[in-house]
Amino acid sequence: MSTDYREKRKYPFVKSFYFALRGIWEGVKTERNIRIHSMMTVVVILLGTYVSLNWIEWLFVLIAVTGTVALELVNSALERVVDLVTEEYHPLARQAKDMAAAAVLLYAVFSVIVGIVIFLPKLIST
Ligand SMILES: Nc1ncnc2c1ncn2[C@@H]1O[C@H](COP(=O)(O)OP(=O)(O)OP(=O)(O)O)[C@@H](O)[C@H]1O
């Protein structure tokens, strides 16, 4: 990659927005976990509407679901960067991928706890 390319790389805001949307689309297209979490996001939003969450509950639920998908995207981006740097086995590559996966796992546990705390009492009482 030449320095020249970096100097020219000043895109307007709308174009940067387009790149981000393209990143979401690439993630959904190529990563099974992102597809699963995106579908779960839709299900959770429908369920939240059905049980009439209040605004604080919505806030927690949205932080949980959007955070999970966002972290999955970062994890997938990091996997690609690692694969770009090396296709050989390398302890640092392993650590980088394992740590990124661990971040997703931790956040997924938080999301499940949020889901249980908010939805379980409502579903039991309906
Ligand atoms: N170049 C590498 N060097 C060392 N270990 C690696 C390397 N690439 C992958 N690994 C190990 O294999 C694991 C799985 O890596 P991989 O790239 O297949 O991701 P993944 O978790 O299967 O991703 P996904 O299923 O989300 O696509 C990593 O967490 C890491 O422990």
Q: What is the pLDDT of residue 66?
A: 96
Q: Taking the CB of residue 57, how many other CB atoms lie within 10 A of it?
A: 17
Among residues 30, 41, 34, the alpha carbon closest in space to that of 66 is found at 41
Q: What is the pLDDT along the chain (126 residues), one digit of tens a residue?
A: 555 666 666 778 888 999 999 999 999 999 999 999 999 999 999 999 999 999 999 999 999 999 999 999 999 999 999 999 999 999 999 999 999 999 999 999 999 999 999 999 999 987
What is the reported pLDDT for 110? 97
CA of 93 from ligand 1 middle (Å) equals 8
Q: Where are the domains of the chain?
A: 12-125
Instruction: List active site positions.
Output: 72
Q: Quick one: which atom of ligand 1 is closest to the CA of 89? A: 3
ipTM over 0.85: yes
Structure confidence at residue 12 (pLDDT) = 84
98 lines ligand 1 (CB under 6 A): yes
What is the structure's pLDDT at 23?
Answer: 97
CATH 2.40.30.40 correct for 12-125: no
Handedness of CA 8, 71, 77, 38 (dihedral sign): negative
Q: What per-residue confidence (pLDDT) applies to 11?
A: 76
Comparing CA positions, the residue from 52, 70, 50, 54 lying closest to residue 111 is 70
In the chain, the amino acid numbered 40 is M
Q: So what's the pLDDT on residue 7?
A: 63
Q: Which two tokens stand for residue 25?
A: 């689309």
pTM, full prediction: 0.88
